[in-house]
Structure 1
Amino acid sequence: MHSHEVKNRRKRDTDGSWTAAISHALTESWTGAFASLRFSMKLRTRKQELQWERAAVNAIHIKLKGILSSSCCEMERRPPLNYDYQVDPIPWEEQQLIQRIYEKTSEANRSNVTRTQAYWDCYLSYPEIHWALLAHMVSRNAGWNMSDLKGGLMSDLTDPAFKNNLYRFLERCNALIFQDAYPQLLLYMHSRKEGKPLFHLLPHLHVSSFMAPFWEQFWQDGGSSLLTIALIINEQNYIEGRVAKHPFYQQHLLKHTLFRTHELARLNQIVFPLGDGYVNKSDMDNTIGQNLPSRPLAGLTLPKFDSLSLRIKAGRSLYALLFGYEEIHRAVLAFAQSTKHQGSRAEYWPALFTPTVDQAMNHAHVSIDLLKSEWLPAGQRLYSPRLEEVWHDEPSEPIPRYDWYQDDSMLTHIRKPHRPLRPDMTHAHRAALEKTSIAHDAAARLPFHRH
């Protein structure tokens, strides 16, 4: 047989396998959806009550409206995006405390890995700060998304300039939220050690006036849920003007056609891995299906990143998912305690991903291999690098100093969080991976594709 005939036969075999892969993926999407519903019912078996005092919320509303009333004249005079906080002088001891908080924040804000660890350390020491665990898990997801840009699937689907801009975007969001929130956590920790509230120092840390009433209320009644919702609202507003609405990211990223591709390829999925041993293999086979890894995932899909309201709503739902279901909370803690964050998806699905490039597959029919079996064999797994091995620390950009809280539009978001009815994300995450692999294989077949 001539060489060109052999080549054509191999091409026909690959075409047939690739078509079969797409058909199989479509079938899996239907069967997996029903399996996900069944497993979600299991995750919802035992609920945990989320404390929510209506009287505390009403008191907060009054204080927040009072802040707006007392500062309305000043707010009319100042330019909204160039306002630096004017604060009263404080004693030397408190000045030193502020300086130490800035130093500790700067040290821990070096990378996604160090931020994620700092959130975890905070939660271990002060578990009443629910937001610290939520931030830890969401920050893990940010690291995985950053690593994907240099991984085995997305790196081939992404224009280099867009890839760099997307990394800068993810890194800046992650860093700015930490820059604003971690000093608040440190101030609370110091207040606990001193045995007295020090929240009058929040303006000296450039924290929005929105947050002071919530910390004061939390000090009085320990209402973790209300404080968590406040931090979610605050941090999303903090990055809204500084990143999401920033002209550079609007032009070069959020309105770019490739951004939608990345939303479809897991960028908008927030997953909470459940610790090893959560369910046994036969249980997973009966509940989820034959084609999924044995470590399940909880989580949700963010519909649209550039909507502030939807981001806040998603934050409330993630919090209710993490702290409102006993099984999920216990299993997520087991995962976080046993798994060091390094930014590789091999941390939760090691039988599908590898952080070592020499042990990863490198061919144009990933989707075929991925759909053939539950696991991928050693040496043929998807490359998901450790974050600090593929991205280097970058100096932080200047942060515009202004208080986002200038009207009462956000008060409607201070509401009790509701638990998602479909907390399982195992199949949806695997399905997104399969779609990405099909797109990867299709791109590799194009004559102008370059590795």
Structure 2
Amino acid sequence: MIYTKRRNHQQQPITQKQLLEIENILKKQMNNPKSLKLLSSEEYELISKIKSITKQFNANNIIRTQAYLDFYQKHPEIEWSLLAHLVSRNAGWNMTDLKGEFLPKLLSEKKQRQFFLFLERANWLIFQDVYPQLLLYKESLQRNKPLFYLLPYFNVSSFIQPFWNYFWSNKNRYFLTTALIINEQNYIEKRVVQNQIYTDSTLHSFTFKLQEHLNFSHVLLPYQDKGALHKVGIIGQTLHHFESLDKRIKFGKRLYTLLYFNQARLNKIVDWAISNPHSGSRKDYWPHLFNDVKESLPGKLYKPRTNNCTLKKGAKRLYSPKLQFVWKDISHIEATQGDWFEDYSVINNFKYDKNDVNEEITHAYCESIKTLELIMYLSEVIFHVRE
């Protein structure tokens, strides 16, 4: 199903007047000298507290994913936090896929770990950049005054500060969410996507290209659907060309449109997320197909078990472990300093994308599972023949 209708005021096309307003804000921001003023002891104490809380909640994918949802439940006006929660869930599922039913037999342990470190680093970086922003907003509400002048003390890009101030006075959720999407994708651009550590070992690898070619780069948004066969439906999008900054930003905007387009379904997505704590296992949304305990016997030749995301008669469920049992917490090195914002032409990313957003992803996702099963089966048959 394709939706062409736009939702409420947050998704209306931005007028030329608004674009000029944002452009002037960014020009002014760029021309201001980036100097830090002397703070009071109370302000330093607040900064220290926020940094401590951020570090505590950034221990692993499970904790940071829940932190996004907890924040959204208290502050639903910050729509980006729900989007971040759902995207972070998908990152966790991708992490456990590396130790799940298929990939351990298709990837070496070294390659599995390289992929995990790539996913974990991006997930960690975004959280440590954005969560202080969320906490500063929370503190601003409690004190009934904007505290966004403190953002530079968290090494946050100068780009995002005027949008928090704009949101404080205008409450434009679309502006803020779009700004956060732009900011976070630019933030990881040089630190992960263009970082040679990850380009050589992951992004430029044959396995990553194969994954994109076979449509495995799905972001799923589950929702409780009492009328569905399995009671949990999924909508979502597929990201191609992860290495493209422009495509990642447009992808984030499409997800945002999809998530907030339908209020009744949005409520079902939120209800499902609250009722099903993130474990990293795909069993969280489809227990009919996945289990966090391995059901198949080791050493047995793999035979395709599914048809359109339904198990064949007598077939065992696909293994999808909980994250805590397959990956240990990582001690990250500090993020590289530096501000990505150098050109206010980034304003073009705020323009409304007129492309229709196709929510249908179930068929593509089921086909990707079917393709993985076939690859798995053929690789084992070839291996046994060679023996």
Shared fold, TM over 0.5: yes
Deviations, residues 317-345 of structure 1 (Å, cap 9, x unaligned): 00000011234312211211211100001
The Cα shift of 1:373 comes to 8.0
CA displacement at 1:169 relative to structure 2: 0.3
Q: TM-score, normalised by structure 1?
A: 0.80
Paired residues, what number? Answer: 382
Task: Report the Cα offset of residue 428 of structure 1.
Answer: 1.1
Question: Which runs of no fewer than 5 residues in structure 2 stay unpaired?
Answer: none
Structure 1 or 2, whichever has the larger Rg, is 1
Residue 326 of structure 1 corresponds to which residue in structure 2?
A: 263
Q: Partner letter of residue 220 of structure 1?
A: S
Structure 2 residue 363 is the aligned partner of structure 1 residue 424: no
Matches within 5 A, 1:127-146: 127-146=76-95
- TM-fit CA distance, 1:59: 2.0
Shift of 1:423: 0.4
User: Counterpart of 2:220 in 1: which secondary structure?
Assistant: strand
**Structure with bigger RCO (C-alpha 8 Å, 6+ apart):** 1
Contact 1:351 1:381 in 2 (8 A): yes
Cα separation, 2, equivalents of 1:411 and 1:340? 37
Contact 1:237-1:404 at 8 Å conserved across structures: yes
**Where do 1:21-420 residues align within 5 Å?**
40=1, 44=3, 48-51=7-10, 52=12, 54=15, 55-71=17-33, 87-264=36-213, 267-277=216-226, 279-281=227-229, 293-357=230-294, 359-360=295-296, 363-367=300-304, 369-371=305-307, 374-375=310-311, 380-416=316-352, 420=356
Report how far residue 264 of structure 1 moved. 4.3
In the aligned structure 2, how far is the partner of 1:208 from the partner of 1:438? 45
Deviation at 1:247, TM superposition (A): 1.0
Partner Cα separation in structure 1 for residue 367 and residue 147 of structure 2: 48
Q: Does the C-alpha gap of structure 1 residues 417 and 323 become closer, same or farther in structure 2, counting only changes over 3 Å?
A: farther
What is the one-letter code of the residue matched to 2:270? L
Q: Is the 8 A contact 2:185 2:245 kept in 1?
A: yes
Cα deviation digits, residues 339-360 of structure 1 (max 9, x gap): 1100001111111100012x24
CA contact (8 A) 2:308 2:366 kept: no
Query: Structure 2: which amino acid aligns with 1:251?
Result: D
Q: Report the Cα distance in structure 2 between the residues aligned to 1:340 and 1:276, rounded to whole angstroms.
A: 17
1:408–1:376: structure 2 CA closer, same or farther, 3 Å change rule? same
* Distance in 2 of aligned mates of 1:275 and 1:147: 23
Q: SS in structure 1 opposite 2:237?
A: strand
CA drift at 1:372: 8.6
d(CA) in 2 for partners of 1:334 and 1:415?
31
Q: Residue 80 of structure 1 aligns with which residue?
A: none
Structure 1, 100-109 or 87-96: larger mean CA deviation: 87-96
For residue 66 of structure 1, report the CA deviation from its aligned partner.
1.9
1:306 alignment partner AA: E
The one-letter code sitting in structure 1 at the alignment partner of 2:105 is D
1:361 touches 1:381 (CA, 8 Å); kept in 2? no
8 A Cα contact 1:50 1:320, kept in partner = no
Return the alpha-carbon distance in structure 2 between the equivalents of residues 410 and 46 of structure 1.
26
Relative to its length, the structure with more helix (as a share) is 1
CA distance in structure 1 between the partners assigned to 2:57 and 2:289 by the alignment: 31
Distance, in Å, in 1 between the alignment partners of 2:4 and 2:20 is 32
Secondary structure in 1 aligned to 2:235?
A: strand
CA distance in 1, matches of 2:177, 2:316: 42
Using structure 2 for the length normalisation, give the TM-score. 0.93
Deviation at 1:96, TM superposition (A): 0.3
Assess, with a 3 A threshold, how the Cα gap between structure 1 residues 47 and 436 changes in structure 2: closer, same or farther. Answer: same
Deviations 1:6-64 (A, max 9, x none): xxxxxxxxxxxxxxxxxxxxxxxxxxxxxxxxxx25xx498631425645443221010
User: Identity of paired residues, percent?
Assistant: 36
Does the residue aligned with 2:236 lie in a helix, a strand or coil?
strand
Q: How has the CA–CA distance of structure 1 residues 247 and 92 changed in structure 2, closer, same or farther, with 3 Å as cutoff?
A: same
Residue 381 of structure 2 aligns with an amino acid whose one-letter code is R
Alpha-carbon displacement from aligned partner over 1:166-185 (angstroms, at most 9, x marks no partner): 10000000000000000000
Q: Which residue of 2 aligns with 1:15?
A: none
In terms of mean alpha carbon deviation, does 237-246 or 159-168 score higher? 159-168
CA change 1:171–1:213 in 2 (3 A) is: same
Contact 1:176/1:239 (8 A) holds in 2: yes
The alpha-carbon distance between structure 1 residues 194 and 49, as it changes in their structure 2 partners (threshold 3 A), is: same
What amino acid maps onto 2:29 in structure 1?
A: I
Q: Is the 8 A contact 2:167 2:173 kept in 1?
A: yes
Encode CA deviations 1:50-108: one digit per residue, 9 max, x unaligned. 4256454432210101222345xxxxxxxxxxxxx852221110000000000000000
Q: Counterparts of 2:83 and 2:163 in 1: how far apart (Å)? A: 18
CA-to-partner distance for each residue in 1:130-162, whole Å, 9 max, x for gaps?
000000000000000000000011111112222
Asked whether the equivalents of residues 232 and 315 of structure 1 are also in contact (C-alpha less than 8 Å), the reply is: yes
How far apart are 1:231 and its partner, in Å? 0.2
Conservation of the 8 A alpha-carbon contact between 1:361 and 1:379: no
8 A Cα contact 1:264 1:432, kept in partner: no
What CA distance in whole angstroms lies between the structure 2 residues aligned with 1:397 and 1:267?
29
SS in 2 for 1:172: helix
The corresponding residue for 1:24 is none
Specify every segment of 5 or more residues in structure 1 that has no aligned partner in the other structure, as ranges.
1-39, 72-84, 282-292
Residue 56 of structure 1 contacts residue 217 of structure 1 at CA under 8 Å; is this kept in 2?
no
After TM superposition, the structure 1 stretch with the greater mean CA deviation from structure 2, 293-302 or 433-442, is 293-302
- When the two chains are superposed, the root-mean-square deviation of aligned CA atoms in Å is 2.2
